[in-house]
Amino acid sequence: MPLYELVCISRSTITQENMRMLLKRSAETVLDRGGAVRGFVNMGRDQPLPYRMKRHMEYHTRGSFWLMHYYSNPNTSSVLMSQLKLDPRIIRCNVVKVTDKLSEMVSVGERA
Amino acid sequence: MSTTTTGSGSNINKPEQQQKTPLSSTTQDTKSQQMDRIIAPIAQQQQQQKQGSDKVFDNNSYSRVFFPKQTYHPSELNEMNAQNPSRKARESRTTADPFVALGIDPLKEYKNTNVLSNFITEMGKIKPRYKTGLTAKSQRRLAQAIKRARAFGLMPVTSKSYFMYNYKSLGRGGGSGSR
């Protein structure tokens, strides 16, 4: 199963509890479809965005950046994306495939 | 003041006498002869210098070409800068590509906006290859990484970010400064 990376920008005005639920829900989406979640990385809570973004009928200038690394089949990625895009707590989300090869998966550290 | 003997005393007078004679107009020499006497030793010196030294600073050896809008300081007009800078200095840039030298794929560094910011202008435009000095492959991958970072909302489009990224958690309400 290939290793994917979800780069997500979520709203900065949500509470800590709400954020936790959001992360949990995105992880559950992967796990329910036979995937495995490797981990989350926090890239900054409540950061100014590089440019103003419009999502869900709102303009945003600040956001929280986080990553999720997970292994899954390709279908799960598209399902996850479509689910997250409907969520009003999320400003922007993109999935990148990190690698297919086992040797590379092992060498990729937590930071990447 | 030591007392001098008559022998040394007479020597003191002689140089003074020798100095006086060329400048004096009361001698029996003609003007041309006087001029020769002045010029001859100097001309001899110059000839000796020419024959002696290999580096002659005359019009033939100064081949440096000055281009428009080029500035120079008078101290640069010497034998060292007599020739244009050789091309050999420019050609030895084989491993100037940092991605090749470190074995890094630029596309994997799309989240590293600090690194990517080195290759964009102040306006946020991607620098061309002759400015970045990268190989074609690296330049392609780098451009793709920059475009990806812009699309994902990690890097600004019309400016350059100077924010220091810390991958470990910045904690609650982290980060100051502009992105």
pLDDT in tens, A36-46: 999 899 988 88
Rounded mean pLDDT of B100-122?
A: 91
Asked if the model's pLDDT at residue B85 lies above 50, the reply is yes
The predicted pLDDT at position B146 comes to: 96
pLDDT digits 0-9 by tens, A61-74? 999 999 999 999 99
% of chain B residues with pLDDT over 70: 63
What ipTM was estimated for this complex?
0.90
CA–CA separation, B94 and A66 (whole Å):
38
- Are the beta carbons of A73 and A35 closer than 8 angstroms? yes
> Model confidence at B48, in pLDDT bands (50, 70, 90)?
confident
Average pLDDT, rounded, for chain A: 90
If phi over 0 gives left and psi between -120 and 50 gives alpha, with beta otherwise, what is residue B133?
left
Question: From residue A38, how far is each of A83, B25, B71 by CA, in Å?
Answer: 20, 107, 59
pTM: 0.62
Question: Which residues 7-46 in chain B show a CB within 8 A of chain A?
Answer: none
Q: What are phi and psi of B6, to 5 degrees?
A: -65, -35
**What are the chain B neighbours of A63 within 8 Å (beta carbons)?**
153
* Neighboring chain B residues of A43 at a CB cutoff of 8 Å: 111, 165, 167
Min mean pLDDT across B67-81, B104-118, B156-170 is at: B156-170
Average pLDDT, chain B: 74
- Mutant choice from A42, A98, A110 vs B, greatest count of B C-beta within 10 A: A42
Report which secondary-structure segment, H or E, holds A6: strand A3-11
pLDDT at residue B80 tops 60: yes
Nearest-Cα distance to chain B for A94, in Å, is: 7
